[in-house]
Amino acid sequence: MSKITIAIDGYSSCGKSTVAKALAARLNYAYVDSGSMYRCVTLYCLDKGIIKDHSFLTDEVIKILPELKLSFQFNAKSGINETFMNGKSVEKEIRTLEVAGHVSAISTIKEVRAHMVAIQREIGKNKGVVMDGRDIGTTVFPDAELKIFMTAEMDVRVQRRLDELLSKGEHVSFEKVKQNLMERDHVDTHRKESPLVQAIDAIVLDNTELDKEQQLQFVIQLINDLSLSQVTRGEGQGASEK
C-alpha cells in the first residue's frame, strides 16, 4: 500500500497524541502534534508578556508569528517526539496547565490558524504522515485517506490529564482540570475559525474503555481494511479493462 495521510481529531486529553505517536512509529511515518504548535504560540505570548491577566491583543499575537520557528524531533534517549521552538525543546513548558488555560483562546485567531495550517500542509505534502489535532480532517487535510475522530467520557479524560500533570510535578485538583477541559471543549467547538467537528467521513474511536494497544489495533485494522479495498478496486478496474 502506498503511503497515506492519517488525520486524527478529537477532544482534549482523549489520547490522540498517544495513538498517533504509536501509529507513526509502527508505520514508520512522520508524526505531527498540531496542538503543540498552538501551545508554542501561547507559550511564546506568555513569555513575551503579550498575555496578561488572561487577556491579550490580537494584533500583538499576529505580529509575533513570523518570529516562531517550529519543528519536531525524535529523542532517541527519551523515546519521545519533542516539539522545538526557535531551536529549543519546549516539550515540558507547553504542557503546563497555564498554557492549557490560554491555548484555546489563542487558537481562535484566524491568522494564527492560517499560519499553523500552512506549516502543517507543508510538512504533510508528501504523505506518510500522522497528524493529530482538532481540524486536521476538516481543514488541514480534508482529502486524507483515513480520518479518525477520538472521544472518551469526561471523567476518564480528566483523570488522564491529571495523571499527566502529576507525573510532571504539577499538582492540581481533579475539579480544576475538569473545569479546564470543559472550557476548552466549549471554545474548541464554538470558535468561528475551524471549530472542532467530526468530519463526515471520519470513523469514531471512543476509547473510554480501551487501553493503548487496543486503540492502536483498532486503527491498524482500519488501515488494513483500507489497503484491502484499494487492492479490490484495482483488481476490479483491471478486470473491466480486459
In a domain, 222, yes or no: yes
The total of structural domains in the chain comes to 1
In a domain, 63, yes or no: yes
In a domain, 152, yes or no: yes
Burial class of 140 by CB neighbour count within 10 A (0 to 12, 13 to 18, 19+) = buried
Query: In this predicted model, what pLDDT tens digit does every residue of 33-80 receive, in sequence order?
Result: 898 999 999 999 999 999 998 899 999 999 999 999 998 877 767 667
Domain with residue 200: its CATH number is 3.40.50.300
In a domain, 129, yes or no: yes
DSSP 157: H
Its pTM surpasses 0.75: yes
Structural domain that includes position 178: 5-237
Q: How far apart are CA 217 and CA 23, in angstroms?
A: 9
Residue type for 177, please? Answer: V
Cα torsion at 61, 64, 66, 69 (round to 10°)? -100
Q: How far apart are CA 85 and CA 74, in angstroms?
A: 14
In a domain, 242, yes or no: no
Query: In this predicted model, what pLDDT tens digit does every residue of 158-182 receive, in sequence order?
Result: 999 999 889 888 889 999 999 999 9
Q: How far apart are CA 78 and CA 131, in angstroms?
A: 21
DSSP 193: S
